Amino acid sequence: MPAPRIGLQLYTLRDECAADLLGTLRRVAELGYEGVEFAGYFGVPADELHGVMEELGLTAIASHIGLPALRERLSQEIRYLLDISCSYLVCPGVPGDEHDAESWRRNIPLLRQAADQAAQAGLQFAYHNHAYEFQLELDGMPVFDRLFPYDAVDPAFRSELDTCWAAHAGRDPLAMIRRLSGHVPLLHLKDYRITEGNELDTLPLGEGEAPLDAIIETASDAGVRWLIVEQDDAGSDTPLACVERSMQWLIANRHRT
């Protein structure tokens, strides 16, 4: 299988994007990232964004579209994605006030309907996990396993596996990638340290405790198409410095030339 390509989740650079999305994209391209996953467009029209992406040679991998937008303006979101030649519509999770079983009973059918509508438009739909999908049970089964049943894979409903959050929930990220083999086209590649208080510190690649080489090898075997670098919080560093260090690690370890 071809090696996964390397992208960046722009949530990592959310403040920079809010100040100057197009300028931030230029910097991301200069650092060597091949594509980006959007976390908002900050008022930039689709045709302008598409033109800059083409100029920079960046792929519009995916965009995180929140549950309220899926409910209220899915058609408009799909239109924007098509206009910027983006392939994946990703739900980034559910709001904090809907982390309960009754809300999930309503939201799982809604997510599947959104996936069907995206597929009809020629897009692929994926769901991005945090830890709570593994920790909350719905009718005796973790919500994640309701979304991605072992015995009934929905070809229109894919996983954007966040290995960091899976590990924080006590799941083996390598086992999770194998379990979703062929069904996880996008994977969030993150490094982290879990503190004594079970808090999660996200770090530039190579500076934490994630088994990154094994994750990348397993992802390649499982058919992952994009490894998407993300760092939730840069701590005392600047986010741009962090994503540059992550790219340097990828190059040094021969995951990016």
Three-class DSSP category at 149: coil
pLDDT (0 to 100) of residue 77: 98
Type of residue found at 79: R
How high is the pLDDT of residue 58?
Answer: 98
Predicted pLDDT at 109: 96
If one counts every other C-beta atom within 10 angstroms of the C-beta of residue 161, the result is 31
Which residues, 6+ apart, have CB-to-CB distance to 197 below 8 Å? none
Q: Give residue 220's Cα distance to chain centre.
A: 16
The residue among 252, 251, 247, 184 whose CA lies nearest residue 219 is 184
pLDDT at 194: 83
pLDDT of res. 78: 98
**For residue 153, what are the contacts with CB-CB under 8 A and spacing of at least 6?**
183
The predicted pLDDT at position 82 comes to: 98
Q: Are 174 and 213 in contact (CB under 8 A)?
A: no
59 forms bridges with which residues in the sheet? 35
Specify the CATH architecture of the domain 5-252.
Answer: Alpha-Beta Barrel (3.20)
pLDDT of residue 257: 62
Residue by residue, pLDDT tens for the chain (257 residues) are: 678 999 999 999 999 999 999 999 999 999 999 999 999 999 999 999 999 999 999 999 999 999 999 999 999 999 999 999 999 999 999 998 999 999 999 999 999 999 999 999 999 999 999 999 999 999 999 999 999 998 777 888 999 999 999 999 999 999 999 999 999 999 999 999 988 887 889 999 999 999 999 999 999 999 999 999 999 998 889 999 999 999 999 999 988 76
Q: Map residue 108 onto helix, strand or coil.
A: helix
Rounded to the nearest angstrom, the gap between the alpha carbon of residue 105 and the centroid of all alpha carbons in its chain is 23
Domain boundaries of the chain, sorted by first residue:
5-252
- In contact, 172 and 212? CB cutoff 8 Å: no
